[in-house]
Amino acid sequence: MLAYSKEFRREVLAACDGGGGTREVALRFDVSESWVRRIKQERREQGKLAPSTTRKRQKSWEPYADWILAKLDAQPDIYLRELVAAAEDELDWEVSDMTLSRACRTLKRTRKKRRSSPQSRSGKTS
């Protein structure tokens, strides 16, 4: 569902300022009474007319970002399932491997695997 435009919100607020009651304005503009009350409250408390365009929700892993970085620094080749188990054991934090994968991507940390043997001394043959 798309947000109402800034111009439409201005018209609704102007009708409220002109002496119209919440119910009357809602019926006139074919919107809900709760929406009219909410935009009046937003203007009163925050001084804004425009709808919110971004979410203000914190990611579930952000409080644990330092712990995740420390674990990846200590063991760069850790599997996600091992990281999930460590979070459960050490922090009593139930988290999915996908959440930790997104956290690693956002923190710009990759989990690099170590080579199993040293690199060959001979150069490329072709």
Report pLDDT digits (tens) over 82-115: 999 999 999 999 999 999 999 999 999 877 666 6
Q: What is the pLDDT of residues 4-51, one digit of tens each?
A: 888 898 999 999 999 888 999 999 999 999 999 999 998 888 887 777
> How many Cβ atoms are within 10 Å of 58's Cβ, its own excluded?
8
Q: Is the pTM here over 0.75, yes or no?
A: no
Calpha distance 73→71 (Å, rounded): 5
**Domains of the chain, residue spans:** 6-46, 62-106
pLDDT of residue 5: 85
**Which contacts qualify for 79-82: CB closer than 8 Å, 24 or more apart?**
79/111, 80/111
